[in-house]
């Protein structure tokens, strides 16, 4: 068998059930998990920022000694760090983008499983794969553009770690 026959053989061995299980359900789980994680980080850090920033004037007015000034300074620093982490990692944007991608994949999945338009023809599996892969590719491209614009050019060793950890 030549190497040119391999892609056709692999393509023919990919059934709708296998694609749903190995690709669609896997991606749905990944996007849902990442969406939830980013949502949780966003809310936790926003709460820390809010509480710490609110404590600064209260502590400043309540404690007049050097201990109060130190505590107020530390509390202000915690608020600034938490706000900086929220801005740097863009948890809200990632939460919303990942949730939207998961919902789009789920929408396409249910249209496909019910044989609804545009999946009500003999080419439905091919159309389904193309639409799912396009959705995933668009999200990946959007993520890369967001990271590139916020952190500059992604080059060097840090690129691999950043992309792998997304």
pLDDT band with cut points at 50, 70 and 90 for residue 164: very low
Of 123 and 150, the one with more pLDDT: 123
Alpha-carbon distance 29 to 98, whole Å?
11
Residue 152 resides in a domain: yes
Q: Is the pLDDT of residue 53 over 80?
A: yes
Residue 5 resides in a domain: no
Burial 41-69 (b: 16+ CB within 10 A, else e): bbeebeebbeebbebbeebbeeeeeeeee
pLDDT band with cut points at 50, 70 and 90 for residue 37: very high
Residue 9 resides in a domain: no
Contact 9, 98 (CB under 8 A): no
**Total number of domains in the chain:** 1
* pLDDT for position 136: 96
Contact 32, 95 (CB under 8 A): no
Residue 1 resides in a domain: no
Residue 139 resides in a domain: yes
* pLDDT for position 26: 98
Q: Which domain holds residue 104?
A: 16-165
Question: Tens of pLDDT along 95-133?
Answer: 999 999 999 999 999 999 999 999 999 999 999 999 999
């Amino acid at each position: 068998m030549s190497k040119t026959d391999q892609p056709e053989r692999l393509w023919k061995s990919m059934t709708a059930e296998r694609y749903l299980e190995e690709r669609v359900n896997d991606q749905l789980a990944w996007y849902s998990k990442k969406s939830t994680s980013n949502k949780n980080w966003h809310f936790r850090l926003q709460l820390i920022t809010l509480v710490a920033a609110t404590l600064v004037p209260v502590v400043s007015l309540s404690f007049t000694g050097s201990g109060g000034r130190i505590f107020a300074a530390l509390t202000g620093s915690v608020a600034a760090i938490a706000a900086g982490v929220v801005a740097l990692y863009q948890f809200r944007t990632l939460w919303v983008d990942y949730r939207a991608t998961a919902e789009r994949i789920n929408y396409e999945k249910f249209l496909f499983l019910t044989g609804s338009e545009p999946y009500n023809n003999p080419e439905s599996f091919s159309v389904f794969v193309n639409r799912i892969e396009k959705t995933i590719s668009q999200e990946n491209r959007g993520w890369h553009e967001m990271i590139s614009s916020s952190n500059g050019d992604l080059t060097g060793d840090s690129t691999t770690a950043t992309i792998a950890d997304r």
